[in-house]
Structure 1
Amino acid sequence: MSFNRPFCSPQRIALVRELYGIRKSELSMRLGVSARTVTCWELGLQAPSAGDVAALCRVFGVGPEFFEPQLEGLPVASGLPHFRSYRAGTQVAYRQAQAYVQVTQDLVRTLRDYVDFPALHLPDISADPELAESIVPQMAAQYVRHVWGLGDGPIAHVLREVENHGVCAVFAPFEHASLDAYSVFGGGVPLIVLNPTVGDYYRQRFDVAHELGHLVMHPDAEPGNKVIEAQADAFASELLAPSEVLHDELPTRMDGAGWLKLKELKERWGVSMKVLLDKAYALGRLTEEGYRAGLKSLSRNGWKLLEPGAISGVEEPSLIPHALELLGDVGVSPEEVRERSRVPQGYFGVMAARRPLLPVRA
């Protein structure tokens, strides 16, 4: 370590504690110090001794270099992640998620020193966060389809399209499962974090499209606002299932033939029957009575929680795993990348995986 800067960064102590979801009182007990001492460390009012740093390393499974200050001038996440609601999880869970975003950006930044990531091609089409009835989400989705060259047909792999246009995606650790997918700008690469327990192909595709909607329309909006969540839903629906293309195919009655048509469209377009039912009503294909009857049928069959579908596996993120594979081909090991990015081992494994991994514990 350099001797011309602090031995231990207060921000890095707070970061790793929040990453593992440990309260100050719990950490103080593990270290045999007072909670006030931990607070003073994190505020920069008191420096931990070399012995304290060694103890921190043992608790969190990191080396002392983890606590070195972040280099000045590095890009960091801008703004808060777009969480669907601040009622879904605890404050500890939200802080843990924000810390996960930061260490993920540390890994992405390190990888970009070695590998050329896809250029960011993300339209900026701001939607008024106070305007509930807005055509901007539909127009934004249509524009994304146009500039990304997606045409009017089904999108075969939503996550791949998002990553190919410069947005990085990772699974969250299992201990974040109380939170839906979320997204954030920053670190030079926008990031989408996927819920690891969502095993429904159709729901996950909608989650990805929803978060893309936030990145396109709400870079500076206050997260958790009901209006912007509805706007992101409208964007996702239009991106995955264009209204003009589907209009004449959507059912006008929710009888047996109507449900068969929704199931057929679901498999062709990769969206849920609930999304298609909402679209049929919004486009005037269904009356309010027919729409309500459809909702009741969804509920009666237990399809509000999990609809039947032909595809069982979810789409897998590949940008980080592929970058690590490329580096491996030229002799740079994943461990070298991990050490340089200073990401704790367990979390590195989660970020580098194409599929969700088991919980990470301190």
Structure 2
Amino acid sequence: MSVQDSSPILSFDPRRLTLARELQGVRKSDLARSLGVSAVTITHWESGNRNPTKDNVYALALTLGVAPSFLESQFSEAPLISGAPHFRSLRSTTQLSRNQAQAYTQVVQDVIHTMNEYVDFPDLVLPGILTDSDLPGSEIPRLAAEQVRKDWGLGNKPVQHVVRAMENHGIVVVFAPFHSAAIDAYSTFGSEAPVVVLNPTKGDYYRQRFDAAHELGHLVMHADADPGHKVLEAQAHAFAAEFLAPSACIQDELPTVMNGQGWMKLKELKEYWGISMQALLYRAKELGRLSDDAYRNAMVTVSRNGWRSKEPGLISSLEEPSLIPHAISLIEESGVPSEILREKSRVPQHYFEVITARRPVLPVNA
């Protein structure tokens, strides 16, 4: 026979309850139903108006798949992120999915915060070239891409490894959990480091590079902008195109006619610059190399050949994040097991594995 403990827990942090719930993609009403309490009670707990009992905390932790300590306040923890991530298609992303994505970036910050006790991450080298949604046709994306290339010493050559270049200059790159695969890449600033989250099911080297460069554009240009505006997405798209293949280098190389020779040239440029044919076609239209009609006809060919979702290409392996995995190895070599890091970060096991992996991690029940 067990004795229930109805005393309130003094170190309970209501914000951590919200974080745990959103991390699991659970609505307040569903959590309340699972615990046999009212949704109003969950709201009281999350707002800090009322503290749950110790038994409540254990039940919450069990239901949400976290340790009870996850719900406690601690002196040493990464401050909670206040700004919303930049999503590629905000209108098609549900609020529940957005909250879950933001919660994931928070636990990424928690892992980085813990690792910072043992290793030094690269200094952030990221020019701030702010723009906004009132400047749809501005030159800022091109100038921003040029500045990043200059600051990172890339010159006008192809970026050999986009993810590695970002990590070398202080940006943390991780894969998302598979349950977030409906969301494209997204990015956010945090207290520990800017974070870019890549889609784990993309499976396309060329598009993944563009996704990463697109999110880099948001970090450079849109630090203070509200996410989701079409103009901001267009600016990040323009930044990615210029960052991956500077117009000064590629403009005269792009085909003007999409005949057999034109397609061969496009495939050559794809491999040289590491950018998809569809992105190159759009680039050719934007730079005046292809007329609108020629571009539309070319895209019809792309669709007819089944290239909308999977283009032919020589490189099949994705770029892999290495900053956090390498840091984990260094810390383990110093005598600190990764399990100690996980416990100190309070991040659930599966999420810790996803964050610290070089490759996408399948869900536990896969």
88, 99, 105: which one aligns with 1:101? 105
Q: Distance in 2 between matches of 1:140 and 1:251?
A: 26
Q: Distance in 2 between matches of 1:327 and 1:278?
A: 45
What letter corresponds to residue 29 of structure 2 in structure 1? S
User: Percent same amino acid at aligned positions?
Assistant: 57
Task: Tell me the number of residue pairs that the alignment of Structure 1 and Structure 2 aligns.
Answer: 357
Q: Structure 1 residues 73 and 173 mapped into 2: Cα distance closer, same or farther (>3 Å)?
A: closer
User: CA shift at 1:80, angstroms?
Assistant: 1.1
* Residue of structure 1 in register with 2:42 after alignment: 38
Q: Distance in 2 between matches of 1:133 and 1:86?
A: 21
- 1:214-254 per-position Cα deviation (integer Å, ceiling 9, x unaligned): 00011011100000100000000011011111122111110
What letter corresponds to residue 107 of structure 2 in structure 1? V
Indicate the RMSD between aligned Cα atoms, in angstroms. 1.6
- 1:8-48 per-position Cα deviation (integer Å, ceiling 9, x unaligned): 11111111011001112222222222222222211112211
Q: Distance in 2 between matches of 1:78 and 1:240?
A: 30
Once structures 1 and 2 are overlaid, which stretch shifts more, 328-337 or 41-50? Answer: 41-50
8, 15, 36: which one aligns with 2:12? 8
User: CA shift at 1:149, angstroms?
Assistant: 0.6
State whether structure 2 residue 310 is matched by structure 1 residue 300.
Answer: no
What letter corresponds to residue 58 of structure 1 in structure 2? L
- Contact between 1:19 and 1:97, CA under 8 Å: does it hold in 2? yes
Q: Distance in 1 between matches of 2:142 and 2:32?
A: 51
Q: Distance in 2 between matches of 1:72 and 1:353?
A: 24
State whether structure 2 residue 183 is matched by structure 1 residue 179.
Answer: yes
What letter corresponds to residue 169 of structure 1 in structure 2? V
Q: Distance in 2 between matches of 1:360 and 1:210?
A: 30
Q: Distance in 2 between matches of 1:62 and 1:188?
A: 22
* Residue of structure 2 in register with 1:167 after alignment: 171
**TM-score (norm: length of structure 1):** 0.95
What letter corresponds to residue 306 of structure 2 in structure 1? G
- Contact between 1:175 and 1:360, CA under 8 Å: does it hold in 2? no
State whether structure 2 residue 103 is matched by structure 1 residue 138.
Answer: no
User: CA shift at 1:209, angstroms?
Assistant: 0.2
User: For residues 1-362 of structure 1, what are the structure 2 equivalents within 5 Å?
Assistant: 6-71=10-75, 74-359=78-363
What letter corresponds to residue 122 of structure 1 in structure 2? L
What letter corresponds to residue 352 of structure 1 in structure 2? T
Gaps spanning 5+ residues in structure 1: where? none
Q: Structure 1 residues 10 and 180 mapped into 2: Cα distance closer, same or farther (>3 Å)?
A: same
Q: Distance in 2 between matches of 1:28 and 1:283?
A: 55
What letter corresponds to residue 80 of structure 1 in structure 2? A
- Contact between 2:77 and 2:110, CA under 8 Å: does it hold in 1? no
Q: Distance in 1 between matches of 2:156 and 2:346?
A: 43
- Contact between 1:173 and 1:360, CA under 8 Å: does it hold in 2? no
Q: Distance in 1 between matches of 2:161 and 2:79?
A: 29
Q: Distance in 2 between matches of 1:89 and 1:275?
A: 23
Q: Distance in 1 between matches of 2:26 and 2:77?
A: 29
Q: Distance in 2 between matches of 1:73 and 1:29?
A: 30
Q: Distance in 2 between matches of 1:49 and 1:76?
A: 24
- Contact between 2:205 and 2:317, CA under 8 Å: does it hold in 1? yes
What letter corresponds to residue 162 of structure 1 in structure 2? M
Q: Distance in 1 between matches of 2:182 and 2:297?
A: 31
What letter corresponds to residue 363 of structure 2 in structure 1? P
Q: Distance in 1 between matches of 2:198 and 2:163?
A: 11
Once structures 1 and 2 are overlaid, which stretch shifts more, 93-102 or 26-35? Answer: 26-35
Q: Distance in 2 between matches of 1:62 and 1:283?
A: 51
User: CA shift at 1:360, angstroms?
Assistant: 5.9
Q: Structure 1 residues 49 and 78 mapped into 2: Cα distance closer, same or farther (>3 Å)?
A: closer
What letter corresponds to residue 188 of structure 1 in structure 2? E
User: CA shift at 1:297, angstroms?
Assistant: 1.2
What letter corresponds to residue 26 of structure 1 in structure 2? D
- Contact between 1:206 and 1:271, CA under 8 Å: does it hold in 2? yes
**TM-score (norm: length of structure 2):** 0.94
What letter corresponds to residue 201 of structure 2 in structure 1? T
Q: Structure 1 residues 116 and 73 mapped into 2: Cα distance closer, same or farther (>3 Å)?
A: closer
User: CA shift at 1:64, angstroms?
Assistant: 2.1
- 1:72-112 per-position Cα deviation (integer Å, ceiling 9, x unaligned): 89544341111122222222111111111111111111111
